[in-house]
Structure 1
Amino acid sequence: MSARLLVLLAVILAFGALSFMALMEAGYFGIFAQHFENYAGMQVLTDLAIVCVLAIVWMVRDAKVSGVTPWPFVVLTLAAGAFGILFYLVAREVKARA
């Protein structure tokens, strides 16, 4: 297993634990609701949306070169943000090693 793959899996595990705790505390919609309380929160949510859209565009383009089917990861990115991008990077790394 490559160092890159280990780092990606460690990030997914750590971010997954944080996300689980946030979901338990606020719920899925509660995580988003807090961002509508003030302009600072809206800025962070808008920033996340922009980055996710840019990542989706990159994934779709990169998939043509890497040979990974992007659509499950696009859907996951729309539903769960960075998890879709992180799992795409894992799939890309695994495909490159095969």
Structure 2
Amino acid sequence: MINKQIALIILVPFTLLSGYAMAQVGYLGILDYNRYSPAGWQVLTDLVIALGLVLSWLIPEAKKNNRNPWPWILATILMGSFGPLLYLVTAQQTTPE
């Protein structure tokens, strides 16, 4: 599945970058950095909008594939893009009809 491969290619370096950032400033430090300027507010607002749009796809997709959407919703809320990326990486491969 091409989505799984692309998600994995994105997930690995993103995990390394996120691990480095958390080691430097901590989980809350990542959010805290953005609260001091309108540019940071814009980035956080954009992230919330984008992840909301992703969840509007992910939830029905998970239900259609008999997967509980709640772990992915919670992962997205708590860890951002990791939720949807992990959803794609762990998807079962289906055969085309």
TM-score of Structure 1 vs Structure 2, range by shorter chain: 0.7 to 0.9
CA apart distance, 1:3? 4.9
- Stretches of structure 2 lacking an aligned partner (at least 5 in a row): none
**Which consecutive aligned stretches of 4+ in structure 1 deviate over 6 angstroms post-superposition?**
none
Relative CO higher for 1 or 2, CA cutoff 8 Å, sep ≥ 6? Answer: 2
Contact 1:63–1:69 at 8 Å: present in 2 too?
yes
Contact 2:51–2:80 at 8 Å: present in 1 too?
yes
Cα RMSD between the aligned structures? 1.6
User: What TM-score comes out, normalization by structure 2 length?
Assistant: 0.86
Helix, strand or coil for the counterpart of 2:60? Answer: helix
Percent pairwise identity: 35
Name the counterpart of 1:56: 55
Summarize deviations over 1:51-90 as a string: whole Å, max 9, x none: 1122122111112223322111111000000000101112
Contact 1:73–1:88 at 8 Å: present in 2 too?
yes
